[in-house]
Every structure is written in C-alpha cells, then in structure tokens.
Amino acid sequence: MGVKVAKFGGTSVADVGQIRKVEAIIKADPERRYIITSAPGKRSRTDSKITDLLYLCHTHVQQDVPFKEVFSIISKRYIKIVYDLDLSLDLAPHLEKIKKEISGGATADYTASRGEYLMGLILADLLGYAFVDPFQIIHFDKNECIDMEQIHESMGTILKKHPRAVIPGFYGSTCDGEVKTFSRGGSDITGALVASGVEAEIYENWTDVSGLLMADPSIVENPKPIDTITYRELRELAYMGAKVLHDEAIFPVKEAGIPVLIKNTNRPDDPGTVITKDAAPVSHKGTITGIAGKKDFTVIVIEKALMNTEVGFGRRLLTALEANNISFEHMPTGIDTISLVIEDKQLVHKLDKVLAEIKAECQPDSLEVYPNMALVATVGRGMIHTPGIAARIFTALHRADVNIRMIDQGSSEINVIVGIENSDFKQAIRAIYKAFVK
C-alpha cells in the first residue's frame, strides 16, 4: 500500500464540524497514513487562534500578570472539542501540566507548541492512530537548523514502526533537549519533513482554499486556479507574495521529489493544485502559470561612464549596502548603470547614509533614487524558449498606460519581473492577466 502524508491546517481543525470533515477525508483513503495537525485556528474572522492565545499566556507570565483567564479560554476550547467529538480522552491532566509549566516560566516555544500537541492527542484518539510526539523525530542541530540526517534516522527507528500515526506540527527538539518551534505556519514544514522521512508518494496539504490562483483575487476578478505548478515557479510566486505554503516547506519535498497537493478541507472534491518537479511538462507553450507582485521598493540608479572597465566597482557598491546591513532584491545592469532594487523598509533612516557612502566609495557621475516602486512577476515554465512572451507583457502594460521603469528576466526564463510605480500596481496585474488568460 502507498503512503500519503496529509497535513491539516488550523482552520481544518478549528471546531468539531471541521474535525469531522478531516476525519471523513482521512477515512476515505487508507493510504493517508501519517497525519500532521496544526493547532485549532480561527472559527470566524473575529476569533483567536490557539497559538496566539498560548503566546499571550507566555507574555503574561513574562510581565508577571495572571494568565489564568487566557488559559481557561484555551482549555475550554479543547474540552469542548473532546466533548463534541464524544471521545473518552481525558485532557485534564495534560492541561494541568501545561498550565503548571507555563506558570513556572516555560519558554515561548514550548508554550506555543502545546497547541499542536493537544490537537494531536485528540486527532490520534479520534482516528485510532498512534500519537508520535515530534519532539522525538524532528530535530534541530546546534545552529538551530533542521538536522535532516537525524530526522531521517529517527523516522526510520520511531515513526516507521507505526503503520498509522498522528504527528503534531510546528515543533521539534534541539540538541539540548528543548522544544523548538518553526516560524509561524511551520506545521507545513513538519508535513514536508515527515513526507520526506517516510518516502511518501505524495504530501497533501489540506487548507481552506482550493489551491493556488493565477492572481490575487482581490485584484483580478475570479482568477483561474492553477492545476500544476513546479517547485521553482512556486518559489518565484511565493517570494512575490502568493502564499499558500510555508516557504521552507518546499525544500524537503523538492529534494526528495515528492509532489505536494494543496487541497481544500471544505471542498474536498475540488482538484486543488499539484506542486511538482521542475521538469513537469506544460500543456501549452506560451502560457503563464501565475502573476504576483509586491509594492514599496526603492530603486537606486548609479551611473558612471566606463563603469565596465573599473575593477572592483561592484564590490565597492555592495560594500556600502553590507556596511549598513541592507540586502537588495534585484540588481539590473546596463553598460554604464547599475540599479539596486531595495525594499523601502530596509532603507528607513538609512537612505542618506547609504547614498553618501556610495558617492564616497564609487564616485558616480549621477545617483538617482526612485521611491514608491512596485515589482510584478509573470511566472511560468511555458515561457521557456517561447518568443513573444515579453512583447505580450510589455504591450499589455503599454495599452494599460503603465510605465515600465525596470525589467529583469531571470536566466531560468520562467520569470519576467517589471518595476513600475506603486500606483500602477493593480492595473498592471490586471493587464498582464488579461493578455494571457482568455
């Protein structure tokens, strides 16, 4: 029998109604053998996520303020879930222990991790699956990075012993024996690590949307869903703000060549989006996969005659950024010009200093600053070796009266980025979408 790893996000386990959907999904396919769960998320827009409430408990203790009331909201939510599911599981001793540990000054990571821990106990009980604490199988090395080698070893000795198991997401253990969490949304990473560790045939990521859309629905009306996207395309779109999976979740599955399927717990029959190998075929050449963008960049344009003959020019320029702890996003170049595209927030209180240092170090003929810029990326493996793609993008922008200030095409040919004014942002995305999607 094959092995599928299925991860369910916070909204999928927010209350009994949602958990019943999760149960039905798991029972519908016996190959769904390893289940990763988030902590219960919001039940409505005004509700709180359990993880946020747990962090709040920790902050209260740090400030020497009683946290009993916040903790009782958490306890009540879990107790209600157990009651509504009609389980005989007794959570009281677990809740008592956690409360005691939080009041005794437990770390923020430990405290936050209990949301997933408790949800894991409940789901394991409901499904009749083994409960495996990720403390035993997800490891961080002494630099607090994922320790892949040890993870694989533990999965082989601990997890694979269980034909079916529930594993709480979001945390693991350090080499000092402490609980450590990933960054927020990190249960996606747990799922990817488990999928890689058990050599799953697929990693299903169940959430509250039916996969990725070709553009942001708040900008483009009713954008088409993306049925297949490669890891690399996803990375490009995610970098530009299209979020459906934690950034760090891609790497473990990509390395192992395991496809990821994004599915909607509330609409399980929707096909969802498959994230697959970079070499995945594309149905039509000349098509795009998606469009995404980000606002609020500053472009610094440095011009100097015969820049190309000046040894060390680039290094001196970048030293001015490094000295001010600034990273850049893109660096398009001309013969005698270099542009640096930098997020506005990185330049707060630093711009004048950086400009002065560039002047002193590089002695440019001119130095110009363009604030309020946006970047829009058109991404697609269907663009590779296809003439006319850039022309279509630029014609669309021209017709929409959008002035292009910068153009950058990655050498992989799956991405064309244009720099435009912030105020043209939505207009540009709509125009490009219309040019490619009929």
State the residues that interact with ligand ASP by CB under 6 A: 10, 38-39, 49, 51, 115, 169-170, 184-187
Q: Which is nearer to ligand ASP, 169 or 290 (CB)?
A: 169
d(CA 196, CA 193): 5
* Nearest residue to 431 via CA among 212, 215, 211, 213: 215
Closest distance to ligand ASP from the beta carbon of 161 (Å): 26
- Considering the complex, state which of residue 51 and residue 228 has its C-beta at the smaller distance from ligand ASP: 51
Nearer residue to ligand ASP within complex by CB, 51 or 154: 51
Count, in order, helices (H) and strands (E) of the chain: 14, 15
CA distance 352 to 320: 12
Q: How far is the CB of 10 from ligand ASP (least distance, A)?
A: 5
Q: SS3 helix, strand, coil % of the chain, rounded to 5?
A: 40, 20, 35
Which CB, 99 or 114, lies closer to ligand ASP? 114
Tell the smallest beta-carbon distance from residue 113 to ligand ASP (Å).
Answer: 9
Least distance to ligand ASP, CB of residue 189, Å:
8
Looking at residue 98, its amino acid is I
The whole-angstrom separation of Cα 376 and Cα 419 is 7
Closer to ligand ASP by Cβ: residue 107 or 386? 107
Give residue 219's identity as a one-letter amino acid code. I
Beta carbon of residue 183, minimum distance to ligand ASP (angstroms, whole number): 8
Q: Which residues of 136-156 are buried (b: 16+ CB within 10 A; e: fewer)?
A: ebbbbeeeeebbbebbbebbe
Beta carbon nearer to ligand ASP, 109 or 361: 109
Residue 205 and residue 7 in contact, taking contact as beta carbons nearer than 8 Å: yes
Nearer CB in complex with ligand ASP: 36/379: 36
Report the 10 Å Cβ neighbour count for 208.
16
Kindly tell me the sign of the dihedral angle through the C-alpha atoms of 90, 94, 97, 98: negative
CB closer to ligand ASP, 140 vs 313:
140
Q: For residues 298 and 239, what is the distance between their CA atoms, to the nearest angstrom?
A: 17
Minimum CB distance to ligand ASP smaller for 184 or for 315: 184
Q: Is 132 exposed, middle or buried (0-12, 13-18, 19+ CB in 10 A)?
A: buried
Task: Tell the smallest beta-carbon distance from residue 48 to ligand ASP (Å).
Answer: 11
CB 232 → ligand ASP: shortest distance, Å?
23
Q: How far is the CB of 11 from ligand ASP (least distance, A)?
A: 10
Nearest distance in Å: CB 192, ligand ASP: 12
Residue 297 Cβ, how far from ligand ASP at the closest point, in Å?
A: 27
* 344: three-class secondary structure by DSSP: helix
Matching residue, tokens 């009782």: 72
Closer to ligand ASP by Cβ: residue 49 or 254:
49
Helix (H, G, I), strand (E, B) or coil at 37: strand
The 10 Å Cβ neighbour count of residue 406 is: 18
In angstroms, what is the minimal distance from the CB of 70 to ligand ASP? Answer: 16
- The DSSP code for 373 is E
Minimum CB separation of residue 250 from ligand ASP in Å reads 15
Residues in CB range of 199: below 8 A, 6 or more apart: 3, 256, 258
Decide whether 49 or 381 has the Cβ nearer to ligand ASP: 49
Closer by beta carbon to ligand ASP, 129 or else 170: 170
Instruction: Please report the DSSP string for 79-143 in residue order.
Output: HHHHHHTT-----HHHHHHHHHHHHTT--HHHHHHHHHHHHHHHHHHHHTPEE--GGGT-BB-TT
